[in-house]
Structures are given as C-alpha cells and as structure tokens.
Amino acid sequence: MNLFKYWVVFSIILISCNTDLKPEEAALQTCECMKLSKDTSELGIQAFTDCNNKTKEMMAPYREDPKWMSDWKESLMEILKDCMTE
C-alpha cells in the first residue's frame, strides 16, 4: 500500500509540473509499476494494472518517435537494477 501512495504522489507531481514527458520520467514511472508488480494481493494487482495503464497512456504520444523510445529504453536500463532492489 505504501508503494501505491508513493506512485499516486509521483503521478500528481509528474502531471502537474510537466507538459512534455521526458524519457527519464517515463522510465521512472515504468520502474514504479515494476515495483508494484511484486505485490500479488488483489489490491497490488489493481495498483499495478492502474499504474501500467497510466504509463501506457502517458507514453502513447511518443510511441512512434524512435529517438524518444530509444532514450526511454536507455533510461530504463540505467535504473532497472536499482529499481528492482528497492
């Protein structure tokens, strides 16, 4: 449940402060979803699903931009190890 609260706060900050999504921010959002995926309870699964859907929606405008997607992937790979050990 703590991770879910963190994700909600992160999402609110991200949405309110940003008009253009940066690949690094999307990678952090993806990381948060990955953390939520560890919780196999009903609430955990719902939190992950909501997070994943939100991330897909945020990234949708950039999916056809190869440079942006490449930068996102690179950013995600850089934080992946730290992300999954938290």
Could you read off the pLDDT of 26-48 as tens digits, one per residue? Answer: 999 999 999 999 999 999 999 99
What's residue 55's pLDDT?
95
pLDDT above 70 (res 16):
no
What are the phi and psi torsion angles at 60 (to 5°)?
-50, -45
Residue-wise pLDDT for 69-84, tens only, equals 999 999 999 998 888 7
By residue range, what is the domain housing residue 31?
2-85
Closest by Cα among 49, 5, 54 to 29:
54
Q: How many residues does the chain have?
A: 86
- Looking at the whole model, is its pTM more than 0.75? no
pLDDT above 90 (res 10):
no
How many domains are contained in the chain? 1
H helix and E strand count, the chain: 4, 0
Q: What share of the chain is helix, strand, coil (3-state, %, to 5)?
A: 85, 0, 15
